Amino acid sequence: MSLKNTVSLYLVTLVIFFLIDMVWLGLVAKNFYRRQLGEMLSPKVNWMAAILFYLLFIAGLMLFVIVPALGRGGAQQALWQGAIFGLIAYATYDLTNLATLKNWPLLVTIVDLAWGAALGGAVSFLSTLAGLRLFKG
């Protein structure tokens, strides 16, 4: 895959990730995190940290899931490998918090692990489909 195609697909993947995650954080789970984390939750989002996470997560999906799926496995491979990647990435954060922070809710960890798997799988699947359509021929 050319550098131009890689950058294009990275940007498409970033938009897909951001849209899905904003629906989750802004609508679906907003009150859940507020109820579960209470005073631990910052009143303001640290956008620099969030953007850095997004950029790194997307780079990981591209390197380990999406580009390989475009080369040989297709969207179904991207779905399950992306889900595994998302589960592991979110587990790193949540299980570390569960192990080291006082009063970290187990329910947040369970929900986040499920969300990480769903998000990683969905983003990888949709981005691979987009890549197959963008770069065919």
Q: Percent helix, strand and coil across the chain, each rounded to 5?
A: 90, 0, 10
Integer Cα distance of 84 and 80 in angstroms:
6
Integer Cα distance of 136 and 23 in angstroms:
30
How many domains does the chain contain in total? 1
pLDDT given at position 137: 54
pLDDT tens by residue, 95-119 = 999 999 999 999 999 999 999 999 9
pTM attached to this predicted model: 0.91
pLDDT tens by residue, 12-30 = 999 999 999 999 988 888 8
Question: What phi and psi, each to the nearest 5 degrees, are found at residue 45?
Answer: -75, 135
pLDDT given at position 136: 78
For residue 46, what are the domain limits?
Answer: 3-134
How does the average pLDDT of the chain come out, rounded? 94
**CB distance 66 to 131 below 8 Å:** yes
